[in-house]
């Protein structure tokens, strides 16, 4: 075991080693609370992934010099095979009278599509024309198009949530501590992730090293008093079957009874009170999904969990839930009921595509941008079908790219075939993923002119002959911000702050102050200095409007 060390806070406040045995004074309280949370000891379970996957919830680390071609994924899990009357049911997901997913040929009690999506003429649930067009079975879901919200103004600039990956502090390069982050335009900052024990339901650090990061993280509020520091619990890897102790069914087990929920709720409150967190983001990936350890009862139990949390918090702590952008996983969320207990939803409108597409018959091994606006709209339409208040929705923006190794270097645009994941970055060390900081260095090194698809709101580059990566910069982030504003969304979320460059170029890009927006580095520094001196409120956001840029003297 590594010995714990406590770092100096950004504001110059030295944290005493006393923290190792006595709870820290909460940053959101005026008095010292009694000891509420036991820090790591030899009797505290350490969560490990026995397959040696990285803490990054999406990818496997390179093994030696070989590129690991099989990556972790957020699979859409779509049924195998083509749907047509009389199709043999090798997996129970075809459309004969014994295997339809919905409609007149579905089993009793399973005739209606979840979350109000369309039931196709062949008995499958979905939202595209093939499901909702000619032959859509009325009465078994919603055959009409989703009604998109529409408004003017800058609604999405009111809330900007930045996630911080705790494992970023352990990178071999591009290491990021909480004190390194640019928080100048954030309203919330979420620490990813904490876990909880699968039997006692006690909230625990994801890793031993995180304990030293918590005081530094919540101390960011001293730099910006309006900032809210939240803890995010779960993440993709938490529901992997390879953790020790096994946490794959932990969310289901915890949410499954009033007694277990209360144990979790009380432990969570103690945890947040001890370390000065202002709220919690629940990232359960995913309730109901049997490939992720879920059961059908999760849908109702998740609502009960949120109700218990809301009541116990009594207005003292914030509460949000992370949502997938795909129907296959979102179908298990009771969105109308959940929104009664939440401050907002964080929808992961990134990772729509990746190397995992290779083994999926519905997608195939074709390079596609992972933040394509067309598909983002499809994900958001699922929310509108369920009357989710758009002001409660934060749209995800990725500060990283999904990369591929092209099968044919001459075929280097979306739709071309890939062989496997792209080469791992020198700092992130993950095949199929590059941070924005790494992408910017590649562009600079090779003097690359990126390709932009303004309709899809994405950029991509090709380098080293057969390497391809899609990503977002200032130009495409502003395209996405325009869409978020047009849809009346309440904010945006960033995954993740630590993947920005040391000069905070992605932060500048999202604010409309980046080089891609025609703003020089010197102008960006000046603008941020002026904004830092301005009166900060809870509605302060990262995004800088064209009007505000004009006032600041930026072209």
Mean confidence (pLDDT) of the chain: 83
Residue 538: pLDDT over 80: no
Q: Where are the alpha helices (DSSP H) in 298-372?
A: 298-313, 327-330, 335-338
pLDDT score recorded for residue 79: 42
Residue 63: pLDDT over 70: no
**Mean pLDDT, to the nearest integer, of 309-334?**
98
Cβ-proximal residues to 532 (8 Å cutoff; 6+ apart), any chain: 184
pLDDT score recorded for residue 215: 98
pLDDT band at 10 (very low <50, low <70, confident <90, very high): very low
Q: Which two tokens stand for residue 154?
A: 């800058």
Share of the chain above pLDDT 90, in %: 70
Looking up tokens 């972790």 gives 72
pLDDT score recorded for residue 12: 29
More confident residue, 73 or 361: 361
E runs forming strands in 58-116 = none
Residue 130: pLDDT over 60: yes
Q: Which two tokens stand for residue 464?
A: 């080293």
Residue 274: half-sphere exposure toward Cβ, Cα within 13 Å: 23
At 452 the three-state DSSP class reads strand
Instruction: Name the least confident of 64-78, 115-129, 419-433, 466-480.
Output: 64-78
pLDDT score recorded for residue 535: 37
Looking up tokens 């289901």 gives 252
Residue 114: pLDDT over 80: yes
pLDDT score recorded for residue 362: 82
pLDDT band at 88 (very low <50, low <70, confident <90, very high): very low
Q: Which of 49, 37, 56, 39 has its CA nearest to residue 5? A: 39
Q: Which of 498, 472, 488, 493 has its CA nearest to residue 543? A: 493
Q: Is the distance from CB of 136 to CB of 120 less than 8 angstroms?
A: yes
Instruction: Name the least confident of 58-67, 210-219, 309-318, 377-386.
Output: 58-67
Q: Which of 253, 267, 165 has its CA nearest to residue 217? A: 165
> In residues, how long is the chain?
555
Backbone angles phi, psi at 499, to 5 degrees: -95, 5
pLDDT score recorded for residue 183: 96
Instruction: Name the least confident of 98-102, 168-172, 287-291, 527-531.
Output: 527-531
More confident residue, 409 or 35: 409
Decide: residue 37, CB within 10 A, 0-12 exposed, 13-18 middle, 19+ buried.
buried
Instruction: Name the least confident of 10-19, 43-52, 237-246, 302-311.
Output: 10-19
pLDDT band at 93 (very low <50, low <70, confident <90, very high): very low
Q: Is the distance from CB of 372 to CB of 325 less than 8 angstroms?
A: no
More confident residue, 519 or 23: 519
Distance CA 512, CA 502 (A): 18
Distance CA 500, CA 487 (A): 27
Distance CA 333, CA 339 (A): 11
Strand partners, 174: none
Residue 548: pLDDT over 60: no
Q: Which two tokens stand for residue 59?
A: 């990818």
In the DSSP assignment, the letter for residue 103 is G
Backbone angles phi, psi at 452, to 5 degrees: -115, 135
Q: Is the distance from CB of 440 to CB of 353 less than 8 angstroms?
A: no
Q: Are strands 203-205 and 188-196 parallel, antiparallel or unpaired?
A: antiparallel
Give the global pTM.
Answer: 0.82
Distance CA 83, CA 14 (A): 64
Q: Which two tokens stand for residue 171?
A: 């990178």
Residue 433: pLDDT over 80: yes
Q: Which two tokens stand for residue 211?
A: 């304990």
Distance CA 177, CA 175 (A): 7
pLDDT band at 534 (very low <50, low <70, confident <90, very high): low
pLDDT band at 413 (very low <50, low <70, confident <90, very high): very high
At 491 the three-state DSSP class reads strand
Distance CA 492, CA 497 (A): 13
Assigned fold of 160-399+470-519:
TIM Barrel (3.20.20)
**Mean pLDDT, to the nearest integer, of 105-130?**
91
Considering only CA atoms, give the Rg of the chain: 23
141: left (phi over 0), alpha (psi -120 to 50) or beta: left
pLDDT score recorded for residue 135: 94
CATH class of 99-145: alpha beta
Q: Which two tokens stand for residue 317?
A: 């702590």
Q: Are strands 451-453 and 458-463 parallel, antiparallel or unpaired?
A: antiparallel
Instruction: Name the least confident of 98-107, 325-334, 372-381, 396-405.
Output: 98-107
Q: Is the distance from CB of 261 to CB of 304 less than 8 angstroms?
A: yes
Decide: residue 504, CB within 10 A, 0-12 exposed, 13-18 middle, 19+ buried.
buried
Residue 234: pLDDT over 60: yes
Distance CA 49, CA 43 (A): 18
Q: Is the distance from CB of 161 to CB of 187 less than 8 angstroms?
A: yes
pLDDT score recorded for residue 360: 86
Q: Which of 216, 210, 333, 242 has its CA nearest to residue 282? A: 333
Q: What is the pLDDT of residues 279-297, one digit of tens each?
A: 999 999 999 999 999 999 9
More confident residue, 69 or 111: 111
More confident residue, 49 or 478: 478
């Amino acid at each position: 075991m590594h010995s714990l060390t406590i770092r100096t806070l950004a504001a110059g406040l030295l944290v005493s080693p006393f923290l190792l045995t006595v709870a820290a004074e909460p940053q959101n309280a005026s008095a010292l609370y009694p000891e509420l949370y036991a820090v790591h000891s030899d009797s505290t379970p350490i969560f490990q992934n026995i397959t040696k996957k990285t803490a990054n919830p999406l990818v496997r680390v390179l093994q030696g010099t070989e590129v690991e071609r099989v990556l972790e994924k957020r699979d859409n899990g779509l049924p195998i095979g083509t749907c047509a009357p009389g199709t043999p049911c090798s997996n129970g997901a075809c459309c004969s009278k014994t295997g339809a997913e919905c409609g007149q040929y579905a089993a009793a009690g399973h005739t209606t599509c979840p979350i109000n999506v369309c039931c196709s003429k062949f008995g499958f649930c979905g939202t595209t024309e093939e499901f909702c067009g000619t032959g859509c079975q009325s009465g078994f879901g919603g055959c009409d198009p989703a009604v998109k919200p529409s408004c003017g103004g800058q609604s999405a600039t009111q809330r900007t949530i930045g996630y911080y990956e705790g494992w970023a502090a352990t990178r071999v390069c591009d290491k990021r501590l909480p004190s390194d982050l640019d928080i100048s335009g954030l309203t919330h900052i979420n620490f990813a992730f904490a876990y909880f024990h699968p039997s006692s339901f006690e909230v625990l650090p994801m890793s031993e090293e995180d304990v030293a990061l918590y005081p530094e993280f919540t101390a960011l509020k001293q730099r910006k008093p309006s900032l809210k520091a939240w803890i995010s619990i779960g993440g993709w890897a938490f529901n992997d079957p390879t953790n020790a102790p096994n946490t794959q069914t932990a969310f289901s087990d915890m949410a499954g009874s009033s007694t277990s929920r209360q144990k979790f709720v009380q432990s969570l409150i103690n945890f947040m009170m001890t370390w000065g967190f202002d709220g919690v983001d629940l990232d359960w990936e995913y309730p109901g999904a049997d490939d992720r350890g879920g059961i059908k009862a999760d849908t109702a139990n998740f609502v009960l969990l949120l109700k218990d949390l809301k009541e116990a918090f009594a207005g003292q702590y914030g509460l949000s839930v992370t949502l997938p952008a795909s129907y296959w996983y979102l179908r298990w969320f009771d969105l109308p009921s959940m929104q009664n207990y939440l401050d907002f939803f964080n929808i992961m409108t990134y990772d729509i595509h990746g190397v995992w597409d290779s083994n999926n018959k519905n997608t195939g091994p074709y390079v596609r941008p992972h933040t394509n606006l067309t598909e983002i709209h499809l994900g958001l339409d699922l929310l509108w079908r369920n009357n989710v208040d758009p002001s409660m929705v934060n749209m995800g923006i990725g500060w990283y790219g999904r990369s591929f190794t092209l099968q044919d270097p001459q075929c280097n645009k979306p739709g071309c075939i890939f062989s496997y994941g792209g080469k791992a970055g020198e700092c992130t060390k993950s095949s199929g993923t590059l941070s924005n900081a790494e992408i910017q260095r590649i562009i600079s090194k090779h003097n690359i002119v990126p390709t932009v698809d303004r309709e899809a709101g994405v950029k991509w580059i090709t380098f080293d002959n057969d390497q391809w990566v899609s990503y977002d910069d200032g130009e495409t982030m502003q395209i996405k911000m325009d869409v978020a504003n047009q849809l009346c969304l309440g904010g945006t979320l960033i995954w993740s702050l630590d993947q920005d460059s040391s000069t905070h170029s992605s932060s500048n890009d999202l604010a409309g102050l980046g080089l891609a927006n025609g703003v020089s580095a010197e102008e960006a520094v000046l603008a941020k200095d002026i904004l830092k001196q301005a009166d900060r409120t809870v509605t302060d956001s990262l995004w800088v409007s064209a009007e505000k840029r004009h006032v600041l003297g930026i072209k």
